[in-house]
Amino acid sequence: MLFKSLEFKNAYGQKVKIIEIPVLEEENAYRFMIQLRLEAFIAKVYRSRTNRSVYSFREHLKKVLKWPVYEQIFKETALKHNA
């Protein structure tokens, strides 16, 4: 699975980085849900006054999604013959 990160300055001028944002295929059923949750998370971080500079979107999803949905999004594909 591919991940991307996002850097910006919040409303208080602090540099903030959101890491571990999953990149899903166009036909993935969870793509729209992840996009909406990411927008809501960015808005929350943008207004936040905390001194944290790095946030993990994956950890946020782990807290807010039901476990079977989380597993479907972040499922690891096993490599054959340790390739």
28-71 confidence digits (pLDDT tens): 999 999 999 999 999 999 999 888 999 999 999 999 999 999 99
Reply yes or no on whether the pLDDT at 83 is more than 80.
no
pLDDT at 75: 84
DSSP assignment letter at 79: P
pLDDT at 46: 95
- Give, in order, the Cα–Cα distances in Å from 55 to each of 25, 38, 69, 82: 23, 12, 21, 32
What is the mean predicted confidence (pLDDT) over 1-6? 92
Are 16 and 9 in contact by the 8 Å Cβ rule? The answer is yes
